[in-house]
Amino acid sequence: MISPRRRPRARLFAAGLFAVFCAVSTAFNLPSAAQEASPSHDAVLQIIGKVGRPLTLHDADLAALPRRRLTVTDEHGNRVTYEGVSVADLLHRAGAPLGKQLRGPQLALYVLVSAADGYRAVFALPEFDPAFTDRVIVLADRRDGHQMAAPDGPFRVIVPDEKRHARWVREVTSLEVKQAQ
């Protein structure tokens, strides 16, 4: 009568060992940012134009900023999770007028997003501003946990709740604040 009692325990123990083994091997196989083939190693993003402090940000700078995560449906109908920083945060750090400062002539400001392939898209400044909208537009540097290589990355603008994906600009090189004439 000993063995029937022991066997389930032995099985439980074996299952436990296996679970621990899986967890440990998964943990050690997870690529760290340093180990990963680093497509955005020299990646640079410029925030320029009518801003108080033009910025040149490297991927490591973005990694150090408050991180935002968005799970969205992409152009192909797949659910994907993008991670990065809010564009509002970047613009704020560059000294672009937001919140109470965004009024009067500043409402004719817009942001020109430019990509390495020459693609460009425009946003009005209030589209990013949490004082105007709850929608958070993200400059993503990771998709489903991985860095993105060109022509998707290393940086991509993600615009949640937008019916078309034309402004999900891939391989972003600069955000330029400009004034409509």
Q: Which residues make up the interface to ligand MTE (CB under 6 A)?
A: 74-75, 115, 117, 119, 165-166, 168-171
* Burial of 57: CB neighbours in 10 Å, binned 0-12, 13-18, 19+: buried
* Residue nearest to Mo ion according to CB distances in the complex: 166
CB 118 to ligand MTE: min, Å:
8
Q: Which two tokens stand for residue 73?
A: 């449906």
CB 22 to ligand MTE: min, Å:
33
Q: 58 is in the binding site of which of Mo ion, ligand MTE, none (Cβ under 5 to 8 A by kind)? A: none
Q: 171 is in the binding site of which of ligand MTE, Mo ion, none (Cβ under 5 to 8 A by kind)? A: ligand MTE
Half-sphere exposure of 70 (CA within 13 A, CB side): 21
Residue 21's identity, in one-letter code, is: F
Q: Does 120 bind Mo ion (CB under 5 A)?
A: no
Q: Cis link prior to 151 (omega < 30° from 0)? A: yes
Alpha-carbon gap, residue 21 to 38, rounded angstroms: 28
DSSP state of 127: G
**Residue of the chain from 17, 131, 166, 180 that contacts Mo ion (CB under 5 A):** 166
Q: 170 is in the binding site of which of ligand MTE, Mo ion, none (Cβ under 5 to 8 A by kind)? A: ligand MTE
Nearer Cβ to ligand MTE (110/168): 168
Alpha-carbon gap, residue 35 to 179, rounded angstroms: 42
Nearer Cβ to ligand MTE (87/169): 169
Nearer Cβ to ligand MTE (92/143): 143
Q: Which residues pair with 82 in a beta bridge?
A: 70, 143
CB 88 to ligand MTE: min, Å:
20
Alpha helices in the chain (DSSP H): 2-29, 59-64, 87-93
Q: 111 is in the binding site of which of ligand MTE, Mo ion, none (Cβ under 5 to 8 A by kind)? A: none
Provide the binding-site residues for Mo ion, judged by CB under 5 A. Answer: 166
